[in-house]
Every structure is written in structure tokens, then in C-alpha cells.
Amino acid sequence: MHHAQIGQGYIEVICGSMFSGKTEELIRRLRRAQIAKQKVAIFKPAIDDRYSADHLVSHSEWKIPSVAVKNASEILESTPDADVLGIDEVQFFGRGIVKVIEELANSGKRVIVAGLDQDFRGVPYEPMPQIMAIAEYVDKILAVCMVCGNPANKTQRLTDQTEKVVIGATEAYEARCRKCYEPPAQEM
Ligand code: ADP
Ligand code: MG
Ligand code: ZN
């Protein structure tokens, strides 16, 4: 799949809507690296404590131990000897994560990040566009539309909340295709 030279760092992005399988795909890649006896460090933002504070957990209940961090610089400080880094929900770290990811890749590490490419309004979720632009590999994956079964690229919020960040799962969101997605009433 990805043919890396020894000592050559690079960035992989896994993006898509909620329920598209980003966390599953991230866990799959990290497990393979662990099986190959690489040193793997796994992070998620402390804000996302939906299922667990100390694991990445997919909606299908796959899990892998992870470290919850409050900001991007904590990741940089805690990874001197990792070969492979995994970061889930990377969109929640804000602009600061872009330089951190690049620095890690420049120093020879494989950095795999997963995150939402759009928010609930369908607007690109900063800083995903910036990360996608500097990455070597970008995989966009799709969920199944909960209304019609077509490939789903959007995250439908099922509540009236208007804040950009509302942590939730199937009670608050569902995957929808372009045709079935209903943008929130209020333009912001
Ligand atoms: P993400 O990290 O992108 O939100 P996860 O990897 O946590 O996604 O979960 C993917 C899993 O979510 C699927 O394997 C499936 O079990 C479940 N799932 C729930 N709703 C959907 C949907 N509409 N389309 C596809 N998978 C769904
Ligand atoms: Mg996820
Ligand atoms: Zn649909």
C-alpha cells in the first residue's frame, strides 16, 4: 500500500462524515503497525469523551488504548521515540495541530490522522483542509445514508443546537447523502 523508505516520515489523512468508519480505519492501520512491532503512540482530544477517556472507540465498538490530550503541543512533547502516531478527531485540535503534524512527519514519523471533513452545516472543518493539503495520502470514506442507502458524505444533526461542536452519537447525528441532507435552517 504505502511504500515508505526507512526514516522517511509522511502524513496520512482519513476523512469523511460521522459514521463513515474513520475510527475503524485508524484502529486497523495502528493495529497492523503494532503487530509489526513498531512503536505506536495514539492520541485523541480530551473533549471527546463519548465512550472512553483512555481508548479510541468506534461506533462499532472496536477499541484501542489512547492518550487524551488537551492541545497539540502535548502530542509533540510525548512522542520522542514513536515510529507511528495516530490521532483521532483531529479537527478538534484547531490550527496548532497543522505545524505539529508537519514537524512530526519531518522528523521521520508516520503520522495517521482521522477527522471530520465537514461540520454539521456542510462547511469544511478547519483545519482539515490545511492538513489534507500537506498530507502525502488522503482517503475519503463514506457512510451509508440513513434515509435512502446511498453513499453518505454529510453529517445530519438531529437536534436544534446551533453550536459548531456538540459531542454526540446516534442520538444527535446521522449520516446522509447529498440528496437527503437537510442543512440547518439558520445560516451563520
Ligand atoms: P467514524 O469514526 O467515521 O464516526 P466509526 O469508525 O466510529 O465511524 O464507526 C463506523 C461504524 O459505524 C460502522 O462500521 C457501523 O457499524 C456504524 N454505523 C452507524 N451508522 C452508520 C451508517 N449510517 N453508515 C455506516 N456505518 C454506520
Ligand atoms: Mg470516529
Ligand atoms: Zn440519501
Residues with Cβ within 8 Å of residue 135, at least 6 apart in sequence: 10, 11, 12, 13
Where do the domains of the chain lie?
10-141
Q: Is pLDDT at 145 greater than 60 in this prediction?
A: yes
C-alpha of residue 130 to centroid of ligand 2, in Å: 19
Which ligand approaches the C-alpha of residue 179 most closely?
3
Percentage of the chain exceeding pLDDT 70: 93
Burial (CB < 10 A; 0-12, 13-18, 19+), residue 179, is: exposed
156-173 core/surface letters (b: 16 or more CB in 10 A; e: else): bbeeeeeeeeeeeeeebb
Give nearest CA residue, ligand 1 atom 18: 19
Which ligand approaches the C-alpha of residue 174 most closely?
1
10-141 maps to which CATH number?
3.40.50.300
Catalytic positions, written as ranges: 89
Q: Report, in angstroms and rounded to the nearest whole number, the Rg of the chain calculated over CA atoms.
A: 16
pLDDT digits (tens, 9 = 90+) for 104-127: 999 999 999 999 999 999 999 999
